[in-house]
Amino acid sequence: MTERPAAAHEHDRALVKRCLEGQGDAFGELIDRHHKPLFNVALRMLNNVQDAEDVTQTVLLNAFVKLRTYDPRYKFFSWIYRMTVNESLNTLKRRKPTVTLEPRLHMRAPVAASDSAAELQDRVGKALMCLKPDDRAVVVLKHFVSFSYQEIADVLEIPVRTVKSRLFTARERLRDALREGER
Amino acid sequence: MLNRQQIELIHQEMDGVNAPAERAAFRSLIEKDSEARALEADLRNVTQLLDRVGSIDPPRHMTEAILNALPQQVRARSRWEALGAPLKAIVDGFQKRPRFALVSSLCVGLVAGFVAYAALAGTVLIDHPDTSGLRGTLFERRAADELETVHDVTIDVDRVSGRVGVQIAQNIVFVELELDVEHAMEVRLTFDEGAYGLLGFSQLRSEAGPYFTAEPGLIRVTTSGANTHTFVLNHEGPVSPLALSLFENGEEVFATTLSARGLDQGG
């Protein structure tokens, strides 16, 4: 499995350092670098564009406020993705049961997408929601951010063997959910 | 029935993390076991489907909302982002090659300077709010003590008051016209086109006399309210008198010939 380039970690660390030294524009660059994958993690966790936007905004604003608590010995992305997963899980807990009248609206890509692409988004989104949130987090980090087992373990603060166990179980459930969706 | 270790082998193969020995065990398993082949095919379909979904671009307003909630210093970044990828790529290139950036900047500066010069070289309409101690225009002016006054006439006729002064310094002639008119009027300064050339023109309040034309031997300016107009002429060789007149609705209301010493010598 390909690890994320070390240069990217160093760049993140340098930007955090600059930000803590008072160069506020460095945080703007951190936002540029991470807002899209963070949004996509939240989107796959929640299957709702508006909730994903809210989570991404909350996480990035909290990251700015709490930047001094970030320990540079660890990877910045582990810190910020952990916040995103946790905030997504909190949003799921707060979410009241609702009856969805038009489920496809939730997963419509904000950019123009072909019908088949929108259908695929819808199908996969629904299947992901069949997983337990903790298992879903592992699948999302593995398949939508291309993290290694170790990186997922760092983000979720769980052992690698737990990552594997959750991922393997989740994939098989996902297979079954996708089959169900085809019927 | 597949055991836990065999299932892990198949999943790890999907993720590309099997060591060579594990990969050999995986191949052997797939060859021998139909259930393993079925699981491998299923998982491959699932992972391919997930890969096809890809990522979605977040709405543009999302980052704007985040940046707007942050201090001003951070928000500067959003304008940078708005410049778009092409410009960012250029600037990133500059940052990586500072020498190239320096040379490029100098070239751009030179081109910009040339364009500005080409655009402004012919401009003679200049405002100068403070004329005390100086006479002339921004382009052509002299300290008052360098000038010799050769003509100074008070204007006091119906609906017009003011003065017209003529000062010279070597071959430069300054005609300064202070006017206070009740209605808009046209000022005409007539001169021998072979003897004089127009170097510049300025007025104290630009909004009061926006209309200005110059043609060989004749300058026309509209004036209204209180204003001061300055004409700067140069002359070569013998000089000749200048004629100044004011017109209201095409009718001449004032005229004078500026023929004092220094202007009409030898004219």
Q: Which 3 state secondary structure label does DSSP give B18?
A: coil
Residues B94, B95, B96, B100, CA torsion sign? positive
Q: Which has the closest alpha carbon to A92: A142, A149, A54?
A: A54
Closest residue in B to A55 (Cα) is B62
- CB B58 to CB A175 under 8 A? no
Phi, psi of B41 (to 5 degrees): -65, -40
Q: How confident is the model at residue B19 (pLDDT cuts 50, 70, 90)?
A: very high
Strands B160-169, B172-190: pairing kind: antiparallel
Mutate to test the interface with B, among A34, A46, A53, A80 (most CBs of B within 10 A): A53
| Chain A CB contacts of B49 below 8 Å | 120, 124, 178
Residues 6+ apart with CB under 8 A from A14: none
Say what the pLDDT of residue A121 is: 86
Least confident span in B40-44, B71-75, B245-249 = B71-75
User: Length of chain A in residues, anyone?
Assistant: 183
Task: Using the Cα atoms of residue B194, residue B195, residue B199 and residue B204 in order, give the sign of their dihedral.
Answer: negative
How many residues in total does chain B contain? 267
B122-135 per-position pLDDT tens digit: 655 545 445 455 55
Question: Nearest to residue B73, comparing CAs of A10, A62, A24?
Answer: A24
- Whether the pLDDT of residue A107 is over 50: the answer is no
Give the closest residue to A167 by CA, choosing from A149, A182, A146, A151: A149
* Beta carbons within 8 Å of A90's beta carbon, 6+ residues apart: none
Identify the pLDDT of residue B136.
53
Give the Cα separation of A131 and A158 in Å (integer): 18
- Could you tell me if B168 and B147 are in contact, meaning their C-beta atoms sit under 8 angstroms apart? yes
Q: How far is B220 from chain A (nearest CA, A)?
A: 55
- Residue-level pLDDT at A44: 95
When scoring A135, A144, A176 by the number of chain B Cβ atoms within 10 A, the one with the most, hence best to mutate, is A144
Q: Is A144 on the interface with B (CB under 8 A)?
A: yes
**pLDDT above 70 covers what percent of chain B?**
77
How open is the CA angle A25-A31-A37, to the nearest 5 degrees?
165
The partner residue sitting opposite B66, judged by closest CB among A61, A175, A178, is: A61
Interface touch A35/B63, C-beta < 8 Å = yes
| AA letter at B255 | A
Longest Cα separation, chain B: 124
Asked if A10 reaches chain B (Cβ–Cβ under 8 Å), the answer is no
Measured distance CA(A4)–CA(A1) in Å, rounded: 10
Residues A15 and A27 sit within 8 Å (Cβ to Cβ): yes
In the structure encoding, which two tokens stand for residue A59, read together? 């996480």
Whether A134 shows a pLDDT value over 80: the answer reads yes
> Which of the residue ranges A71-75, B11-15, B26-30 would you say has the lowest mean pLDDT?
A71-75
Q: What is the mean pLDDT of residues B61-87?
A: 66
Provide the shortest C-alpha distance from residue A8 to chain B (in Å): 16
What's the predicted TM-score (pTM) here? 0.54
| Chain A nearest-CA residue for B64 | A57
User: Given pLDDT bands bounded at 50, 70 and 90, which one contains residue B169?
Assistant: confident
- Which are the contacts of B9, defined by CB distance < 8 A and separation ≥ 6? B18, B22, B25, B26, B29
Helices (H), A66-143: 76-94, 103-107, 115-129, 133-143
Closest residue, chain B, to A150 (C-alpha): B17
Q: In B45-147, at which residue ranges do the beta strands (DSSP E only) sit?
A: 125-127, 134-136, 141-143
Please provide residue B228's backbone torsions phi and psi, each rounded to the nearest 5 degrees.
-125, 125
**Residue of B55, B87, B88 to mutate when probing chain A, most A C-beta within 10 A:** B55
> A-chain residues within 8 Å CB-CB of B47?
143, 171
CA distance B82 to chain A (A): 11
Q: Is A45 on the interface with B (CB under 8 A)?
A: no
Q: What is the mean pLDDT of residues A154-167?
A: 95
